[in-house]
Amino acid sequence: MTIVYEDEETQGDVPVRRIKFTINGKKMIAEVETRLLLAHLIRRGIGLTGTHTGCDTTNCGACTVLVDGRAVKSCTMLAVQVDGHEISTVEGLATASELHPLQEGFKEEHGLQCGFCTPGMMMAAKALLDANPDPTEEDVRWALSGNLCRCTGYQNIVKSVLWAAAKLRSESAG
């Protein structure tokens, strides 16, 4: 996103816009090419590489982040569209001392193998659990149907999300 040219003559006519946004609670300002994808702003610009790009066509969901709390595939959203909005990525799930129950759940229930789809899965699951703290297995399968995994067969991913939901409920009850 930041390009240093050798001299003025080689500089192309690249339209750049200044945007303000919040990511994982931190306020930021960026100057971006208008065609820059949100996934690339997050990965290359901000350096948060937990958000992965898998398919470029909004199918695999590895790039899922939350924008104002909604699960969004960041490979098909322009960076300029988050001007004035709030983004959450996988790096924002845990606090310094504590994992999010979703993170614990994925480890407990063996919900990941290669780990590539995992951040997107967890973010899609977070959007579900924020809206529905007590989902059924079917609810979870439907909420994750925009995220592809080639390793696990999903059964343990579903269990992981249900594990996290139960823990979140017991935490809020306690």
**Shortest CB 173 distance to other proteins, Å:** 24
**Distance (Å, whole) CA 10 – CA 109:** 54
Place of tokens 């750049």: 16
Contact code string over 82-121 relative to other proteins, x by CB under 8 A: -------xxx-xx----x---x--xxx-x-xxxxxxxx--
Interface with other proteins in residues 136-155 (CB under 8 A): 140-142, 144-155
Relative orientation angle of helices 155-173 and 101-108, to the nearest 10 degrees? 140
Contact between 78 and other proteins per CB under 8 A: no
State the residues that interact with other proteins by CB under 8 A: 1, 3-5, 10-12, 33, 35-36, 43-44, 47-57, 59-60, 62, 89-91, 93-94, 99, 103, 106-108, 110, 112-119, 122, 140-142, 144-158
